Amino acid sequence: MKAALLYDGEVRVEDVPTPIADGWALVRAHAAGVCGTELHFLEGMIPPPTTPFQLGHEIAGVVLEAPPGSAVAIGDRVAVYNFVGCGSCPACRRGWDSICTEPVGQLGFSLPGGFADIVRAPASNLVRLPDSVSFETAAVLACSGMSVVHASRLAGIGVGDTVVVDGVGGVGAMAIQIAVAAGARAIAVADSGPRAELALELGAHDAIVLEGGQGYEGLPDQIRELTGGIGVDHYLELVGTSGTMLAGIRSLARRGKLVLIGYTGEHLDVHPIELILSEVQIVSSVAAARRDLETAIQLAADGRLRVPVDTRYPLAEIGTALERLRARQVRGRNVVVW
């Protein structure tokens, strides 16, 4: 079969041996999302477990093979939940697979990923898809969609809350829609006019443009202006620079929550008194639990969560998809399709 393999700083599509199920399931891939994380691998920010390494962690397809007693059958359309927890640590026992203390691994991070014709995963990681949810939608929900459902649950976003979504990329596009689906009022912060337009199309109540990510010092005042001087209940931080995190804290209402999702090499530097006097909280969120993926799929089936796809590429052209992502030319998600 064909697979896209990461070598030192480049991705090549090559022939590789077809995996053997060996107690897990095999899925014929139909869609695999191309994520910003792939760029972190290419740039060396995340070291691959081996060289070469098969990338791809946003996967949807059709079950080719499943062990007896599985909840899925051959021919089922599925999304692949990419975390493989140990199943027995205190986190796994509570369904918190993404913070498992002894994980088996994660597809596309430490286990062979989804940029391949056939993917091997535990049958219990496969989530059946309603007919109305396409493979490409499901693939993207298996990363950014489920992550935002997870973060929204941890933050406790509810009816009537105000939520800033700072960063309108693939994750931000999901965050705006999920905040709206939860009954909240979303304010997007975008780094360009076209991204702000996308935010409004997806249901944001307001969109603030900070051209090229400049001008965060003035953002808290702008947010207060939009919220009757109160500030926001939740600030979803998808950018992760010192300036954006501080602007987030300063934009919060009393007891508001800064929700850390994105990160860069920069630190959060804040005096505790800034947090204490307004009883604000800092919440952090990594990936998602399997039930968050199930919820994201349900929201899509109900028509409340839409995945903006920029371009569909055959596996052979994955290099072009990655180049366009690096050049920040992608509006929504690029998806490899079969």
> Which 92-111 positions form the footprint of Zn ion (CB under 5 A)?
92, 100
**Applying CB under 5 A, which part among 32-40, 61-69, 113-121, 211-219 lies near Zn ion?**
32-40
Position with the least CB separation from Zn ion: 35
CB of 103 to Zn ion, least distance (A): 6
- Rg of the Cα atoms in the chain: 20
CB of 199 to Zn ion, least distance (A): 20
CB of 99 to Zn ion, least distance (A): 8
**Applying CB under 5 A, which part among 63-71, 78-86, 270-278, 324-332 lies near Zn ion?**
78-86
Q: How many residues bind Zn ion (CB under 5 A)?
A: 8
| Alpha-carbon dihedral sign for residues 20, 25, 28, 30 | negative
Contact yes or no for 281/248 (Cβ under 8 A) = no
Please report, in angstroms and rounded to a whole number, the separation of the first and last CA atoms in the chain. 13
State how beta strands 162-166 and 83-84 pair.
unpaired
Site string for Zn ion, 115-144 (x = CB under 5 A): ----------------------------x-
Is 286 a binder of Zn ion (CB under 5 A)?
A: no
State how beta strands 77-80 and 59-65 pair.
antiparallel
Of 243, 248, 237, the C-alpha closest to 267 is: 243
Q: What number of CA atoms fall less than 13 Å from residue 65's CA on the CB side?
A: 13
Paired with 309 in beta bridges are 333
Q: Which CB atom, from 11 or from 207, has the smaller least distance to Zn ion?
A: 11
Beta strands in the chain (DSSP E): 2-7, 10-15, 25-34, 53-54, 59-65, 77-80, 83-84, 105-106, 118-121, 126-128, 162-166, 185-190, 206-209, 232-237, 252-260, 281-284, 309-313, 333-337
CB of 96 to Zn ion, least distance (A): 8
Q: Which CB atom, from 143 or from 184, has the smaller least distance to Zn ion?
A: 143
> Which 143-182 positions form the footprint of Zn ion (CB under 5 A)?
143
**Applying CB under 5 A, which part among 83-91, 117-125, 186-194, 296-304 lies near Zn ion?**
83-91
CB of 289 to Zn ion, least distance (A): 12
* C-alpha–C-alpha distance, residues 245 and 251, integer Å: 10
Is 85 a binder of Zn ion (CB under 5 A)?
A: yes
In three state form, how does the secondary structure of 114-162 look? Answer: CCECEEEECHHHEEECCCCCCHHHHHHHHHHHHHHHHHHHHHCCCCCCE
**Applying CB under 5 A, which part among 27-35, 47-55, 197-205, 232-240 lies near Zn ion?**
27-35
Among 35, 127, 252, 336, indicate the residue that binds Zn ion (CB under 5 A): 35
Is 261 a binder of Zn ion (CB under 5 A)?
A: no
Is 321 a binder of Zn ion (CB under 5 A)?
A: no
CB of 35 to Zn ion, least distance (A): 3
CB of 57 to Zn ion, least distance (A): 5
What are the φ/ψ torsions at residue 48 (nearest 5 degrees)?
-70, 155
Using alpha carbons, list the distances in angstroms from residue 31 to 89, 106, 181, 248, 253: 32, 18, 25, 35, 41
CB of 141 to Zn ion, least distance (A): 11
* DSSP-derived secondary structure for 279-292: T-EEEE--S--HHH
Is 86 a binder of Zn ion (CB under 5 A)?
A: yes
**Applying CB under 5 A, which part among 86-94, 131-139, 241-249, 259-267 lies near Zn ion?**
86-94
Q: Which CB atom, from 185 or from 290, has the smaller least distance to Zn ion?
A: 290
CB of 89 to Zn ion, least distance (A): 3
Contact yes or no for 56/82 (Cβ under 8 A) = no
Is 89 a binder of Zn ion (CB under 5 A)?
A: yes
Interface contacts to Zn ion, rule CB under 5 A: 35, 37, 85-86, 89, 92, 100, 143
